[in-house]
Amino acid sequence: MIDLPWTEKYRPFSLSDIIGQKLIVERLVSFVERGNFPNMIFAGSPGVGKTACAIAMARDIYKDNMAAAFLELNASDERGITVVREKIKDFAKVKSFANVPIKIIFLDEADSLTSDAQHALRRTMERYAADTRFVLSANYPSKIIDPIQSRCVVFRFKQLSEQEMRDYIVRISKGESLKIDEKAIEALIYVGDGDLRKLTNILQSAAMKSIDISESSIYEVAARARPKEVISMLSYASGGEFIKAKTELDNLMLGHGMGAEDILTQSYKEVQNLGVDERTKLWIIKEIGECNFRIVEGANERIQLEAMLASIALIKNK
């Protein structure tokens, strides 16, 4: 029998299993106890528990009747008006046979819905408000139209703390009989960047190679550089040593296989750890932002990254 991916194997089954988000979980538990709740928007960055909370809440409410009263759709796959007019509307108008008369329609990544689809959804929410509740998950809630936002309670999911991620790593390590040292745990927390899904996938990939998890195996699997390597590149650049900074960039792109977005993201995180004055840090952040914009617009990654290092190197001369 093929084992489940760890992201599913360690997915919370009920609200009591949710990691972090204590205040939100308490509110959701009170909704479950009452058997009634408003329409909701779960807002926050990826991997912080939005989908897990929605499904866990539905399990706590419906027990074994999930299929009869809970519909889950990913709006990024079906983002047009057709899905609202057909799948959502058809489910909303069918009477629930579960113990709780209220049905739940969960729209994951609802910020991907087109404007027309969102306006159609608003009308559906109004028409079937008596026995259907909507839970919308969004990484960018500002992309959801105001008429929908005004009909929902917005729950903002915060980034998980280092201790919460550490406890989660220890839990998986015990469950899978892994040997993981402190530096490897710190590396996992660093590359996971608050996203439990990413963290879990990296840990599982590293464990497929060996149950002895080391810091180097984490960075290798994640295709990420150690913080000191990124700091070294930026330090050389800010010191006016462009050739050495370019050599470090070569190591990041060729040695670690990192893309431009990953390099810029790590560079932005490590600016505050550079041993330079505040004015230089501000200049470096400005250059990182401009480089990121040009790359997103379609410019050549390698040329723009070297241009960024050249601009930072010129700071010393200025």
What is the total residue count of the chain? Answer: 318
pLDDT digits (tens, 9 = 90+) for 166-179: 989 999 999 888 89
Distance CA 155, CA 15 (A): 15
pLDDT digits (tens, 9 = 90+) for 57-86: 999 988 877 877 888 887 666 655 666 667
pLDDT for 1 beyond 50: no
Distance CA 46, CA 180 (A): 25
For residue 119, the tally of other CB atoms under 10 A from its CB is 15
Q: Check if the beta carbon of residue 54 is closer than 8 Å to that of residue 152.
A: no
DSSP 3-state of 298:
coil
Tokens in use for 29? 């538990």
pLDDT digits (tens, 9 = 90+) for 256-301: 888 898 899 999 989 988 888 898 899 999 999 999 999 999 999 9
**End-to-end distance of the chain based on CA atoms, in angstroms?**
64
178 Cβ partners below 8 Å, 6+ apart? 172, 203, 207, 211, 212, 213
- Please give the average per-residue pLDDT across 42-48, as a whole number: 89
Distance CA 38, CA 134 (A): 8
pLDDT digits (tens, 9 = 90+) for 126-169: 888 888 899 999 998 889 999 999 999 999 999 888 888 998 99
Distance CA 69, CA 87 (A): 14
CA distances to 29, 100, 172 from 231, rounded to whole Å, are 45, 56, 31
Instruction: Name all domains of the chain by residue range, CATH numbers in brackets.
Output: 6-156 (3.40.50.300), 162-222 (1.10.8.60), 227-317 (1.20.272.10)
Distance CA 195, CA 83 (A): 29
CA-based R_g, the chain, Å: 23
pLDDT digits (tens, 9 = 90+) for 86-127: 777 777 777 766 666 788 889 888 888 888 888 888 888 888
Distance CA 145, CA 157 (A): 20
181 Cβ partners below 8 Å, 6+ apart? 213, 214, 215
Q: Check if the beta carbon of residue 270 is closer than 8 Å to that of residue 235.
A: no
Assessment of whether the complete model's pTM goes beyond 0.85: no
DSSP-assigned letters across all residues of 26-70:
HHHHHHHHHT----EEEE-STTSSHHHHHHHHHHHHHTT-HHHHE
DSSP 3-state of 225:
coil
Distance CA 125, CA 143 (A): 18
Phi, psi of 213 (to 5 degrees): -90, 125
Distance CA 221, CA 206 (A): 6
Distance CA 147, CA 291 (A): 36
